[in-house]
Structure 1
Amino acid sequence: MASHTNSFDRRDFLKIAGVTGTAALAGCTGGGSGGDGGSDTYTIGMVDAQTGSLSEFGTRNERGRTLALSDVNDVGVKDGTLSLSVEDSQSTNQGGVSAAQKLVNQSGVPFLIGTVGSGVSIAIYESVIKGTDVVQLSQNSTGPKLTDYPGLLRMSPTGKTQSSAIADLVSKDGHDSVALTYINNEYGSGIADAFRSSFSGEIAYDAAHDQGQASYSSVITAMHQSGADAWVFITYQPEFTTMAQEAYDQGYSNEDIDYYGADSVKGTKVIQNTPKGSIDGMKVVAPSAAVDQDNYKQFASAFTDEYGSEPTAWSAYTYDCVVTAALSIQVADDFTGKALSDVVRDVTRPEGQKVKTYEAAHDVVADGGSASDIDYQGVSGPIDLDENGDPEAYLQVFGVQDHSYVSTGFVST
């Protein structure tokens, strides 16, 4: 049986968790007795995008969950430790469902964090979670359609808020006509639908594109032929990178066309794999952590010390998923999906005492406290999961200047 992680120092823990996917902490799933002098291990599951087109999110998530496990296990959960068993979605619906089946049906986890990609999260819910008591809390899904599945919770805000913000940016920049392309899945179609509802001007080009194509030259040509001088991209980083390169190769100048995008077109690989200056002036609206909060600053400092770079909002969302799961285990009557479902929303709700760290929350509820006694304020900001499983939205606007991303402001809803 695994011992409490405070027998390791923090850096040793992070090395072990990063290399093994937390297997070093694995113990008896379900929090069984550790025996004389032992401790229980509460094992939950996580489906993440470790490979495929969404794998850059997976790297961010791995770092966020590792830091969260360290912080949780420095304090402990009830009489033991928290363990995370992670499986790869391969960034596809089929891969996500297979990973979730392994964790839920074979390993029997009562709480599943998962996953990246709205369509993948919905596929997991419909194929594996629906009709069970297992809690599903997605770390990185912004598709508006998730709101229609109250049993599918998420830490990142609905993309409807992004769509409204993008539409406002386009209009304020003086554009009354746009060319819109979106990836042909739940994420893309959902945010595109919300953009159409928010934008009062003309959509001169409006078409989906498939994921993982070698070329999108026909899409770029059609967007140019539409005559719109504002192009809106609702897609993933690899697809947008190809489009931006092909627009550059075809001679379409970003000095004459303004690019706009939702969260999933922003990333270091986009900057690395597009010609310098080719996307300067682009504006991207992305979910944001509450970077002005002290608990976020502490998280960002620990993240930077460990990994040599600043965290993204996606790392913060994953961190908060792990902490929310741990708090749910702490206050639940037992380690079952039914008991965890009864409390998972309440540990984030505003009725309780505001607490900004796992340790502070644990101190409030350690001696028999209930979920309603605490209101966990995540490193990503106030969570306040509502009846649809949606959190509050906090967005950041980025502009591309000198071929790098620069924050230009925040939007809250």
Structure 2
Amino acid sequence: MLKLWSIAVSVFALVGTSFAMTACQETGSENRQENPSPTSPATDAESLKLGALLPASGDLSAVGPPLIESVSLLVETVNQCGGVNGSPVTLTVADDQTDPSVGAEGITKLADVDKVAGVTGSFSSSVSSAAVNVAVRSKVVLISPGSTSPVFTEQAKKGNFQGFWARTAPPDTYQARALAKLARQKGFQRVATIAINNDYGIGLEKEFTQAFKQQGGTVMNENKPARYDPKATTFETEVGAAFANKPEAVIAIIYGETGSLLLKTAYEQGLSQGVQVMMTDGGYSEAFVREVGKTGDGKFIFAGTIGTIPSADGKALNAFKALWQRKQNKPLSAFVAHAWDAAALLVLAAEAANRNTGEGIKSKLRAVADPPGTPVSDVCQALARLRKGEEINYQGASGNVDIDQNGDVIGNYDVWIAKEDGKLAIVGKVNPAK
């Protein structure tokens, strides 16, 4: 069943000032209380309504909850410094359960019943694929913090999205190149792939194979790639195919819940011994490490696995980290900054358009994200400038979030490793463009 929560966040209902972003304080109390000029009211009577379509449960349940918290925190912060177009922003959250059919139901509810103008989501590419057509039809702007399939770029080039789609995480075209480059840097010549059988898995697998071959490597199972059903509960056949003939590395493009069972199966069958497992962002979670489990002598099976993940290195990152630590009292996890930026772009575009509608957001999305406006990394400062009629170039927490005509951003990638204590650590960077 679809799970929905309605969160109405009012500037008058917030508790204390600890929810305000540190950098907001630089604008002074005047800017935090500043409202739009009475001579330039918003063209829409209703306040801005936003939605979040993210996985609180299902295969990506280890990733989704912090993203929801990030979007909610963005709305709280915006309302504390004056809201959008003179009114507080409201937020309704839908759990897509990492299921395309549930995601389609969720976006329909958000658009038709809750009347949202913009939605942060989804994370899964397959869920976003199911949701984006509904969003376009309903004239709702959908900005994903993590749907990285190259399919979206291809569809955008055909004009299918009409400007109602964007993402703050770069497409897997770049992650595939980064992962291929990392594999070659590690000296691997012969690798195999195993991927979840959905838009994310197949798209990244194909892009990786092409990139690795261009760099002189061989993908041993290129002609018969190993792919597994997202709803599968056993993986003996798939891992047998991927680890056959002892590749130097297996590129595992997987999600947390099913992927942990897959890697545990490979270990239990004795297939992973002596083979380097390399992963992407879909399995980047310490909960994933725990789910894969331990060996008989108490060591984590997952230890030594390496992978790539989009970097979060924007100009607003330090201030956002400080806010997150105060609010959540826990480290910043993967894609949380990307979710913050996705929601930030929605509110900034609505303010710039002076319209609380999807078409209004669409009309100003690239204007607030891209040059030549004044660079600004603080959301409250950005809103204050927009209220004065100034142009801005938002510099986010995840990166500069310059959005191209296809709704894409270009980013760098962190290299991560699973340590022996079960923790994940960033150990380097890899630039797919170099």
User: If the TM-score is normalised by the length of the shorter chain, which range does it land in?
Assistant: 0.7 to 0.9
Match of 2:345, SS state, is helix
- In the TM superposition, 1:2-401 aligns within 5 A as 4-10=10-16, 33=45, 41-76=47-82, 77-126=84-133, 128-150=134-156, 151=161, 152-200=165-213, 201-205=217-221, 206-254=225-273, 256-273=274-291, 274-275=293-294, 276-290=299-313, 293=315, 295-369=316-390, 373-401=391-419
**Cα gap change, 1:7/1:84 in structure 2, threshold over 3 Å: closer, same or farther?**
closer
Asked whether the 8 Å contact 2:19–2:327 carries over to 1, the reply is no
What's the CA shift for 1:50? Answer: 1.7
Asked whether the 8 Å contact 2:9–2:75 carries over to 1, the reply is no
**Cα gap change, 1:10/1:121 in structure 2, threshold over 3 Å: closer, same or farther?**
farther
**Alignment-mate amino acid for residue 170 of structure 1:** A
Structure 2: 5+ residue stretches without partners: 1-7, 21-41
Match of 1:197, SS state, is helix
Deviates further, 72-81 or 179-188: 72-81
Structure 1: 5+ residue stretches without partners: 15-29, 34-39
Partners of 1:394 and 1:364 lie apart in 2 by 29
Q: Deviations over 1:244-272 (max 9, x none)?
A: 21122122354x11110110011122121
Asked whether the 8 Å contact 2:191–2:250 carries over to 1, the reply is yes
Partners of 1:156 and 1:363 lie apart in 2 by 26
**Cα gap change, 1:69/1:314 in structure 2, threshold over 3 Å: closer, same or farther?**
same
Normalised by the length of structure 2, the TM-score is: 0.83
What's the CA shift for 1:243? Answer: 1.8
Identical amino acids, percent of aligned pairs: 25
Partners of 2:109 and 2:382 lie apart in 1 by 32
Q: Deviations over 1:73-104 (max 9, x none)?
A: 11121211111111121211100000011111
Deviates further, 349-358 or 301-310: 301-310
**Cα gap change, 1:195/1:105 in structure 2, threshold over 3 Å: closer, same or farther?**
same
**Alignment-mate amino acid for residue 78 of structure 2:** V
Partners of 1:248 and 1:147 lie apart in 2 by 36
Partners of 2:169 and 2:101 lie apart in 1 by 22
Asked whether the 8 Å contact 1:282–1:399 carries over to 2, the reply is yes
What's the CA shift for 1:310? Answer: 1.1
**Cα gap change, 1:333/1:11 in structure 2, threshold over 3 Å: closer, same or farther?**
closer
Deviates further, 210-219 or 340-349: 210-219
What's the CA shift for 1:302? Answer: 1.8
What's the CA shift for 1:10? Answer: 4.3
Asked whether the 8 Å contact 1:212–1:238 carries over to 2, the reply is no
**Cα gap change, 1:258/1:188 in structure 2, threshold over 3 Å: closer, same or farther?**
same
Please give the root-mean-square deviation of Cα atoms over the aligned residues, in Å.
2.1
**Cα gap change, 1:409/1:3 in structure 2, threshold over 3 Å: closer, same or farther?**
closer
Q: Deviations over 1:192-222 (max 9, x none)?
A: 1100110122222322111132221222222
Aligned residues: 384
Partners of 2:71 and 2:43 lie apart in 1 by 20
Q: Deviations over 1:14-59 (max 9, x none)?
A: 9xxxxxxxxxxxxxxx9965xxxxxx63212221112211122221
Match of 1:378, SS state, is coil
Asked whether the 8 Å contact 1:381–1:394 carries over to 2, the reply is no
Asked whether the 8 Å contact 1:204–1:227 carries over to 2, the reply is no
- 2:35 is aligned to none
Asked whether the 8 Å contact 2:226–2:242 carries over to 1, the reply is no
What's the CA shift for 1:12? Answer: 9.0
- 1:18 is aligned to none
Asked whether the 8 Å contact 2:192–2:251 carries over to 1, the reply is yes
Partners of 2:19 and 2:188 lie apart in 1 by 51
Asked whether the 8 Å contact 1:141–1:154 carries over to 2, the reply is yes
Superposed structure 1 runs of 4+ greater than 6 Å apart: 11-14
Match of 2:335, SS state, is helix
What's the CA shift for 1:60? Answer: 1.4
Greater RCO (CA < 8 Å, at least 6 residues apart): 2
Normalised by the length of structure 1, the TM-score is: 0.87
